[in-house]
Structure 1
């Protein structure tokens, strides 16, 4: 198939087809669209890594020399091809099965596993497939070389595609005070995502030495909710702490939808006047986690993004055990990939105690 050949093109070659960010020609064919899709190019990882404030500034290793770039969908076969009694065949049903998605989307798979172990069930998972929310255009591409899934126009998926004031197949948006008091300044995820998922403390040296992702990070965390600003709204986010050569510390913050959704949103008290908010609003430092007996223990609750005031623990591996260390350098902080911090005025507003009134 011609699409298999296209799947082997280098990223630079694929996007060289583009005029601006769109493939040349009025109507790009399906093969051209797929060749520029984020599933194929994994352009988002390179965009994050190579940004001016990206992790490449710490490692000094070009993205082309990393194994990350090899994690991509090379052709239709990866999602659609399945073995049947009569041999191999293409299947739309297989591609729509969430288990097919979870073979590659490890963070989402880990989220589901952690929720199951804690007796938490997302309102969407179990009764729905990923393809119920994510469009064919998102998956197959539309001929545009997007830098990231957060780039404008990259995603079609949003809560209000299904949850409307009128209702329908999905529950309607109730006209409650909690849905109006913030005057469209909060994304649904700020209140309805249970908490943030992160693979914490990825150590570049350990990854380079072992070649195993599972050995290179200290913990899978899903205990708190990081709130960031994105596209003018407060939304759920995540972070990645990394340790570069010579134990150089790095933290990146991004908007992120942890696929762990609560039917009932947070109450006012769960965001306003909390310990984290009160300290950050006063310009004081806040430590979301500590290390006890070689394990990272995180506090629970909401953490608004104030990057210069958050003290994350950093760890190195000694004799096979994760051990905290005090960095000699101030962590390099990345905010260039769509996340924005809270202003002093916004933190002050969150410091005011509010009482939930349905």
Structure 2
């Protein structure tokens, strides 16, 4: 029998894994890692992207050839000749496994989440990126997807591991309508206010700084569920831009957020009172952005309703360092706005978010009887609160009628609710000055009360 020399054995260990692996990603050329198509999709003026403001094609910006400083094996990347390939992620001398730090070189938002101190229950259990994200997601399946947000582009879902849910009020009410992460993530993030001149003139990726401790809520396409979202803002040559997209943060909590974090929260109350939701605001005294906080629903009039202050950078756009004192207020309106792979919440969904729910605080027990309380304040402008009590789970309809008996507003329609005390914030919206009736209807109880609108 012929012996394999040590030299040939070493060659086999180095070359063979590379050869075997090369046979696997036959679809890489059409994968999102290979095409970087997501960047084109979002930037393209045909999709309402930032190109409509800059007038500069993506091919001239070079964003689609973005790369880390080194390949996975540590060798330097030559920007002039770089093309996406296997060596971006794989150091074949060590095998085909990919460590998290390789993923985080490009997926910087997840790196920022960790740097900001957020924890994730999966990471704490020792999960790595590739524990959940599949080879198909990395290497493609032969379909040229427009974005990782396009249905079919990714395979990872909560339900693949969490195949069943415990029966409780939150799961029973929201399970079929709300994505797990809408309740079970601590926060999304945004790098905030990219300064496009810095990239165009100096190739510098400059932004104001990460925004944290907030979450947008949208309806994600292809899921039929409410989903977390984030936003991206940018400025170029005095013009401003806003993009909103579904976002899956890696800040997952074991316990879901409390009801009051979404229902009748500060954002809902501000919207009902002013028609606006403050996302960011420039502090003229401290010369800094007041960051967004809490759960922010994206309403149908989001293009006018979201209050966002945009910034400009007055420092040297070619400098590799950023002087924080050079950020200045630009304006509070967007010249371009974009939302892809998502829609705003519906009027019905927004009405449900106006509903505050809980048990009676004094006795810390469930109500003993059905009750519809007098709204407060009454008369009211611009908003009032309707409170009702349910001693047991039931189906509820809550509507507002004018004096002629015509239905003016549906707050709840055959909605299954658990036992508890519910408080519903109602804005005047299309209601004119006058007297109205609001009626609570369940299979076992009906009650009507009068309220007055003052304009």
Q: TM-score, normalised by structure 2?
A: 0.64
For residue 227 of structure 1, what is the aligned residue in structure 2? 217
Matched, 1:250 2:241: yes
Describe the shift of the 1:107–1:294 C-alpha distance in structure 2 as closer, same or farther (beyond 3 A). same
Partner Cα separation in structure 2 for residue 325 and residue 71 of structure 1: 28
Q: CA deviation at 1:282?
A: 5.5
Segments of structure 1 that go 5 or more residues without pairing to the other structure are: 5-28, 83-88, 166-172
In the TM superposition, what are the counterparts of 1:1-358 in structure 2 within 5 Å? 30-50=24-44, 51-71=46-66, 74-81=84-91, 89=93, 91-93=95-97, 95=98, 97-115=99-117, 120-126=118-124, 127-165=126-164, 173-182=165-174, 184-213=176-205, 216-231=206-221, 232-245=224-237, 247-281=238-272, 284-292=275-283, 293-306=286-299, 307=302, 308-319=304-315, 320=323, 321-326=326-331, 330-335=334-339, 337-355=340-358
Question: Deviations for 1:76-101, whole angstroms, at most 9, x for unmatched residues?
Answer: 2121125xxxxxx25123x1x21121
Whether the 8 Å contact between 2:229 and 2:245 is mirrored in structure 1 is yes
- Higher deviation after alignment, 97-106 or 133-142: 97-106
Question: Deviations for 1:241-263, whole angstroms, at most 9, x for unmatched residues?
Answer: 11122x11110000010111111
Whether the 8 Å contact between 1:281 and 1:348 is mirrored in structure 2 is no
Describe the shift of the 1:184–1:282 C-alpha distance in structure 2 as closer, same or farther (beyond 3 A). farther
Whether the 8 Å contact between 1:281 and 1:351 is mirrored in structure 2 is no
Count of residue pairs the alignment pairs up: 308
Higher RCO structure (Cα 8 Å, ≥6 apart): 1
Q: CA deviation at 1:298?
A: 1.4
Partner Cα separation in structure 2 for residue 209 and residue 300 of structure 1: 34
Partner Cα separation in structure 1 for residue 312 and residue 102 of structure 2: 34
Larger Rg belongs to: 2
* Higher-helix-fraction structure: 1
Segments of structure 2 that go 5 or more residues without pairing to the other structure are: 1-14, 68-82, 316-322, 360-417, 420-455
Q: CA deviation at 1:193?
A: 1.1
Partner Cα separation in structure 2 for residue 146 and residue 299 of structure 1: 32
Q: CA RMSD in A?
A: 2.2
Partner Cα separation in structure 2 for residue 255 and residue 180 of structure 1: 24
- Higher deviation after alignment, 154-163 or 274-283: 274-283
* Higher-strand-fraction structure: 2
Q: TM-score, normalised by structure 1?
A: 0.81
Question: Deviations for 1:211-233, whole angstroms, at most 9, x for unmatched residues?
Answer: 211xx211111121111110321
Q: CA deviation at 1:210?
A: 3.1
| SS of equivalent to 2:27 | helix
Describe the shift of the 1:290–1:284 C-alpha distance in structure 2 as closer, same or farther (beyond 3 A). same
| SS of equivalent to 2:344 | coil
- Higher deviation after alignment, 275-284 or 253-262: 275-284
